[in-house]
A and B are shown apart, each in its own frame.
Chain A
Amino acid sequence: MRKINNINNNQEILTTADGVPLKASLNRALRRERNISLLLVTPLFVFVLIAFLFPIADMLFLSVDNKIVVEKLPRTVPLLADWDETGTVLPDEQIYKALVQDINAGTVDKTILRLGRRLNFEQGGMSSLFRRSVRKLKRLKEPESYKAATIRIHRKWGDLATWRLIKRLSGKFTPTYFYSAVDGGVDKAGHFVRNPENQRIYLKLFVRTILLSLLITLFTIILGYPISYLLATLPTKLSNLLMILVLLPFWTSLLVRTTSWITLLQREGVINDLLVWIGVVDNAHRLTMIHNQIGTIVAMTHILLPFMVLPLFSVMKTIPPNYMRAARSMGATQFRAFLRIYLPNTVPGIGAGCILVFILSIGYYITPSLVGGTSGTFISNLIAYHVQGSLNWGLGAALGTMLLMFVLALYVLYDKVVGLDNIKLG
């Protein structure tokens, strides 16, 4: 090594034929290549940025964003800083006056009711408090006491809870969406408390989503492994035909596939009819296989099966048949050779398939909502409700963020246990 360095040091600078230093010339050539490749990936990069990174960043932001309170109550919020929310005394006259000014200012551009809706997510009744107050406050002309007048307009303005809520939410960011997302709220002192047992829902659905997804993943392995093996070992002509059958579900709409499961599984459905006809099941006691967890598991296993088969197939395709022969020639039975040699070599495919199926299934919501009934719905159904129904995007974002964090944690765990380089899609 040193010898080479010496030679380099002793040498004069190399130049190309036209006298440009060789290094500069090489750099220029390399830079051109680099620029071209950068140019080629730019569209993809921009696409990922717009379609993937921005929305995720936006979601993370939405889950803690609370600037609406400061924005809509710019006079009230600073004054509230000095008010003791733990005491039993209502804010003073000055704060009430600021509130009236803020609300009247917000009435002009008709956006103050948005604040009412925001506060209503935390405490029922805030929405109507604002809607009722707006009209009446507008007519309020220089009263003797803003405090008394405001409380006369709506008794909730004389309620400590209303003011505590406003003060608690006066920051630009808030953890309250996350509190709600883990079935909690705050007590009077502003500390996190869990909801009563019978009102908890989100964590319960998280756990159920994860458990059912694991089950679905397991079923796709059990069903997908033999299929993939068959595909990988059959002659190409036959395996191509089978592959089309495996991929067929991909070419039909998700809704069609899901509703066809309803036709099959419902009480008056094909399978029940068949069972009654055979005599296995009594007509009066037809099996309930849909609108519950069975429905979700069956339909989703079917829908997600290709995502297990494809990586498994492509990994199995690369395993030379000689591995099994070698193992058998060394004295291993068919079973042992499979267990010790074939199976370990398909682990990367199983890993990739599991990650694909599991991540896809914990985010599913159309299928569970159609065939899951109440016991087969997923956390995504509630996220959809908050995004589309209640318009509580903050809570929806907080739930989504938790789901994302869970998946990332799982990813890290997988990396630690199995190793990410052990994933193979083909």
Chain B
Amino acid sequence: MYKIIKQTLLAMIVVSFTAGIALAKTKLVIVSWGGAYTTSQQKAYHDPYMKLNPNIQIINDDSAAAGPAKLRAMSKAGNVTWDLLDAVASDSIALCDEGLVEEVDHDAILAPAPDGTPASADFGDLIVSPCFVPTIVYATTFGYRKDAFATPPTTIADVFDLKKFPGGRTLEKKPIGNFEWALIADGVDPDKVYEVLATPEGVDRAFKKLDTIKDSVIWWSTGSEPVKNLVAGQVVIGSAYNGRLFNAIAAEKQPLAMMWDWQYFDLDGWVIPKGSPHLKEIKKYLRFAADTQRLADQAKYISYGPARKSSAPLVGKHAELGVDMKPHMPTNPINAKHRLVKNYEFWADHEVEYTEKFLAWVVK
């Protein structure tokens, strides 16, 4: 009797152990920004991929905001647990310089466009760093309260005009974007903005323009703040991510509208942390998740433009709201009549220096 029990137990242990091995899935840790953004990735990339590959389990980590710092700390400790990190283009450049992320051969890893165009040509100059796989184009643009003015603001100069458009402003607590806008509003030729900004006089000129509205500005540092303040009526015009504004206008039906003049283009995409435990699997994932259809699919769930040229015609209606997404894309020709593309090299050189100056100016 005793022996039987013993044998059964032993058999159970062996069975469950082997079953455990068979059932164990490969877990890929993908770090992104959380909230609506991660949801859009989950629906457009992760869910279809896991359906096709039942042995893969994707785990979302929402700490992309502190991603570069955390990755650096993990690398320093010699214990990298992330497989893929979502990063803005400038951070991807910095991480690449630091040697913290893998360089990728875009044509080898990524799928070509449906017409056969190699990936590198399909993404074009959006590949701003050899480590970077761009996924979306997002814009920092302006939102305003429709109930605040009789005639709505139409140009960047209007943002700086407190007489015609009285009321609070909200801007990001960063020199990036604000400096460029200030100079353009002050009459600088948009093509020469970075040339002017490279000189101390140019910086002074930007500060002088910003001085004219400084007392009315609430500075934001996380993406949710500007929309919240616009909705609460704390401010009447402010810069915000276009996806957030779209959500407030289209989904929440807030009395807000967008002003696309000199919207500020930036990129967001993937980098592979050096020391990722599943390098092979994650490359396989990227081949699927960064193909033309998948990038176009993401626009169904969030109002950001796909980074592949070949994806643009495939953008359809919003999955839940049924709104045609094309007119809300920053890349839509009507919206993109005046647009600024972030000069990554310039900001890689000057971000630290100008941020200190900017913060000193803000605090003053």
Contacts and interface: CB of A to CB of B under 8 A. Distances in A.
Find out whether A and B make contact in their complex, taking CB atoms under 8 A apart as touching.
yes
B18 interface: no
Contact of A127 (B72, B97, B354, B357): B97
A391 B98 contact: yes
Nearest to B129: A131
Contacts of B360: 198-201, 204
Interface stretch (A117-125, A138-146, A335-343): A117-125
Contacts of A393: 72
B238 interface: no
Interface in A379-396: 382, 385, 387-393
Nearest to A116: B97
A125 B350 CA distance: 7
Contacts of A128: 345-346, 348-349
Contacts of B351: 390
A374 interface: yes
A39 B103 CA distance: 49
Interface in A100-147: 109-111, 113-114, 116-117, 120-121, 124-128, 131
A392 B221 CA distance: 19
B103 to A, nearest CB: 7
A44 B184 CA distance: 60
Contacts of B359: 201, 382
Contact of A113 (B66, B98, B221, B346): B98
B232 to A, nearest CB: 5
Interface string B94-128: 10111100010000000000000000000000000
Contacts of B354: 124
Interface string B72-105: 1000000000000000000000101111000100
A373 interface: yes
A392 B352 contact: yes
A124 B349 contact: yes
Nearest to B69: A388
Given A121-B352, A200-B360, A391-B72, A268 B97 contact: no
Given A114-B99, A117-B94, A374-B363, A125 B349 contact: yes
B233 interface: yes
A267 B349 contact: no
A200 B350 CA distance: 17
Which of A114, A126, A390, A391 is most buried by chain B, counting CB atoms within 10 A of its CB? A391
A201 B234 contact: no
Contact of B356 (A199, A377, A388): A199
Interface string B203-228: 00000000000000011010000000
Given A117-B97, A204-B363, A131 B352 contact: no
Contacts of B353: 124
A422 interface: no
Nearest to A386: B352
A223 B100 CA distance: 49
Size range of the chain A interface in the assembly:
35 or more
A266 interface: yes
A122 to B, nearest CB: 9
B126 to A, nearest CB: 18
Contacts of A373: 218-219
A99 B218 CA distance: 47
A205 interface: yes
Contacts of A205: 363
A373 B225 CA distance: 11
B363 A131 contact: no
Nearest to B95: A391
B341 to A, nearest CB: 17
B143 interface: no
A414 B219 CA distance: 38
Interface string B231-262: 01110000000000000000000000000000
Given A201-B360, A268-B232, A374-B219, A390 B349 contact: no
B279 interface: no
Contacts of B362: 374
A201 B356 contact: yes
Given A198-B360, A391-B68, A111 B99 contact: yes
A113 to B, nearest CB: 4
A121 B94 CA distance: 13
Given A128-B345, A198-B360, A391-B94, A266 B219 contact: no
Interface in A396-415: none
A369 interface: yes
A15 B340 CA distance: 93
A124 B350 contact: yes
B72 A374 contact: no
Interface string A229-268: 0000000000000000000000000000000000000111
Contacts of A391: 68-69, 72, 94, 98
A120 B232 contact: no
A382 B346 CA distance: 22
Contacts of B350: 124-125
A291 interface: yes
Which of B350, B354, B356 is most buried by chain A, counting CB atoms within 10 A of its CB? B356
B164 to A, nearest CB: 19
A164 to B, nearest CB: 17
A387 B69 contact: yes
Given A198-B364, A391-B69, A124 B352 contact: yes
B345 A131 contact: yes
Contact of A390 (B98, B219, B352, B361): B352
B64 to A, nearest CB: 11
B234 A268 contact: yes
A199 B354 CA distance: 10
B355 interface: yes
A374 B361 CA distance: 10
22 contacts: A114-B97, A117-B98, A120-B349, A124-B350, A124-B354, A125-B350, A126-B349, A127-B97, A127-B348, A127-B349, A198-B360, A198-B361, A199-B360, A204-B363, A205-B363, A266-B234, A268-B232, A268-B233, A268-B234, A374-B173, A382-B359, A391-B69
Interface of B: 65-66, 68-69, 72, 94, 96-99, 103, 173, 218-219, 221, 232-234, 345-346, 348-357, 359-364
Interface of A: 109-111, 113-114, 116-117, 120-121, 124-128, 131, 198-201, 204-205, 266-268, 291, 369, 373-375, 377, 382, 385, 387-393
Given A114-B97, A388-B65, A389-B355, 4 more contacts: A198-B361, A201-B363, A374-B219, A391-B68
